Amino acid sequence: MIRQCEIQLQARPRGCHLVTDEVVRHLGALPQTGLLHLLLKHTSAGLCLNENWDADVRRDLNAILDHIVPENQPYFLHTLEGADDMPAHAKSALVGATLTIPITNGRLNLGTWQGIYLCEFRNHGGTRTLTATIIG
């Protein structure tokens, strides 16, 4: 069985945000075994798995990414959409826009301290759309 749905994530400010519960609420019943594939349909945000307990990790990741790809660099050519736009595209390329998570016993088979992050790289990114494909 393959099932697919679109998930509209609420708008969030710039930063790394734990969205595991929001994603799971939209999935419905999961098969006993299978895979969940998530595609974030945007080029200025990212999707990753990371620490789900300590919010300092989310703040630190955001600070690290801002340090790696700072705004207002003189070599940026793509600047018409604001100082945060080209860095957002670069961060999206670094973090990625997809995740594949195993499903075991009808639940996402994440590690004890793992959660799904939406990494919002724009100051005002708006709602973000995921395509969720459930195979199982």
pLDDT score recorded for residue 108: 98
Residue 92 and residue 85 in contact, taking contact as beta carbons nearer than 8 Å? no
Element (H, E) at 6: strand 2-9
pLDDT tens, residue order, the chain (136 aa): 999 999 999 999 999 999 999 999 999 999 999 999 999 999 999 999 999 999 999 999 999 999 999 999 999 999 999 999 999 999 999 999 999 999 999 999 999 999 999 999 999 999 999 999 999 9
Residues linked to residue 96 through DSSP beta bridges, in sequence order: none
SS (H, E, C) 13-57: EEEEEECHHHHHHHHCCCCCEEEEEEEECCCCEEEEEEECCCHHH
| Partners of 100 in beta bridges | 37
Tokens of 99: 């995740």
Task: Please tell me the predicted confidence (pLDDT) of residue 82.
Answer: 95
Model-level pTM?
0.95
Sequence-distant (6+) residues with CB within 8 A of 82 are 123
